[in-house]
Copies of this chain bind each other. A is one copy, B any other.
Amino acid sequence: MGVLATRRRARMSAVRPTGPLDRVAGAHDAAVLAVARRGEPVARAGLADALQVTPQAISKILTRLIDRGMIAESGSFSSGPGKPTTLYRIVPESRRAIGLHLTSSLLHGVVADLTGQVLERRSVEIDPRQPVPALIADLAGTARELARHGGGEMLGVGVGMPGPVDPVEGIYRGSASSADDWRGAPIRDLLLEELALPVHLDHDSRAALVGESWSQPGLLDNAALVLAEEGLGASLRLDGVMVRGAHSQAGEVGHTVVQMDGLPCPCGRRGCAQVEYLAALAAEDQEQAARVLATVVLDLVRLVDVDRVVLGGRSVYAHHQVTMEAVRRALDEGLRAEARVHVEVLLSTRGIDLIAAGAACQVLEHEYGLPSALVGPESE
């Protein structure tokens, strides 16, 4: 048995003898959910077109999803002669997941439904120097409180936090430079043991991008999310797939050099984006901060060719007018030579819940996300 999708399906519907075709089914189920997630009711014919399968197959797929309570009929629609088209919609309340956003001083958590909508939020202040067991207790406590809200099957807990994180092992790596009590903590396993729920640990900006793209499938297939909070981070989704990279550090723009002989950085070099950005903020020079951001964004756009850039994080919200304008201007200028390339700059839609909601969506994506290129229209 095996492969990703098989596991997924095995988890989808409790007990069922493992079959190899599950992965086809799983991929199609996920694809249908992705379309339905956009909110508007969908019809059999449209789905057949989108998935490149027979309408009859869509019926079977929908039957499966309806059995699991994730899809429901939603009226019908008649234009011209013939039997009217039956419409279907997603059932958001059928599943839910918890997302936790951990920073050095604050823990912010949410419960989200199947569409990534936030149902409830909680915030707790935490002590950055408390030992790991106490931290886990805080996380578990908030998760348990949140688990009381909303209905449907609880899928798991996502945790998003800044700094080097190993999402594969579920470990917070921490940075070697600064003292850090949580360094090396196997947060995922500890929390899993505590809660007996699947746990996903990941980088904050990656969680954020998963969250943003979960609620608007397809829109952010080639996008970068730049997160400006305590540090400066980014994450990438290219050709529809979240990019991890060899060391799970793809998108770590904090230490890109933006100013040749700039300010010294703890990392040992000068002019890193992160220090320059934070320094500009400290000096309340929003224009300069925005310029730093713009440089980073322009680099990203050039190197990986994204057509949408999402900006998020506290410091961005605080001055989003200035920031967005500056970034847009820098992009216009930098890309003037390439007329065909248009890049849209967006402000994150989730405000303060950005990362927590994203972490919840990572659980959803792991369970019901597309296994990348298996499904969809011809990719030629």
Beta-carbon contact of A173 and B303 below 8 Å = no
In the assembled complex, A121 has its CB within 8 A of some CB on chain B: no
Beta-carbon contact of B255 and A238 below 8 Å = no
Least Cβ–Cβ distance between A276 and chain B, in angstroms: 13
How far is B2's CA from A53's CA once the two chains are assembled, in angstroms? Answer: 6
State the oligomeric state as a number of copies.
2
A308: chain B residues within 8 A (beta carbon) = 246
Q: Check A51/B246 contact, CB under 8 A, given A236-B304, A253-B303.
A: no
Beta-carbon contact of A23 and B305 below 8 Å = no
**Interface flags, A299-328, vs B, CB<8A=1, else 0:** 110111111100000000000000000000
Least Cβ–Cβ distance between A134 and chain B, in angstroms: 27
In the assembled complex, A103 has its CB within 8 A of some CB on chain B: no
* A20: contacting residue among B53, B243, B338, CB under 8 A: B53
A299: chain B residues within 8 A (beta carbon) = 256, 299, 303
- The stretch from A84-92, A148-156, A357-365, A370-378 touching chain B is A370-378
- A: number of interface residues (CB 8 Å): 72
Q: Check A378/B21 contact, CB under 8 A, given A256-B299, A305-B245.
A: no
In the assembled complex, A282 has its CB within 8 A of some CB on chain B: no
Beta-carbon contact of A247 and B168 below 8 Å = no
Q: Check A1/B241 contact, CB under 8 A, given A24-B23, A249-B341, A253-B303.
A: no
* A303: contacting residue among B5, B251, B379, CB under 8 A: B251
Beta-carbon contact of A303 and B3 below 8 Å = no
**Interface flags, A1-32, vs B, CB<8A=1, else 0:** 11111010000000000001101100000000
* A247: contacting residue among B24, B164, B307, CB under 8 A: B307
A340: chain B residues within 8 A (beta carbon) = 164, 173, 247
Beta-carbon contact of B250 and A4 below 8 Å = no
20 A–B contacts from the bound complex (CB under 8 Å): A1-B52, A1-B54, A3-B52, A4-B373, A164-B338, A168-B380, A176-B337, A241-B241, A245-B306, A246-B306, A247-B305, A250-B303, A251-B303, A252-B302, A252-B303, A252-B305, A253-B303, A260-B260, A266-B337, A304-B304
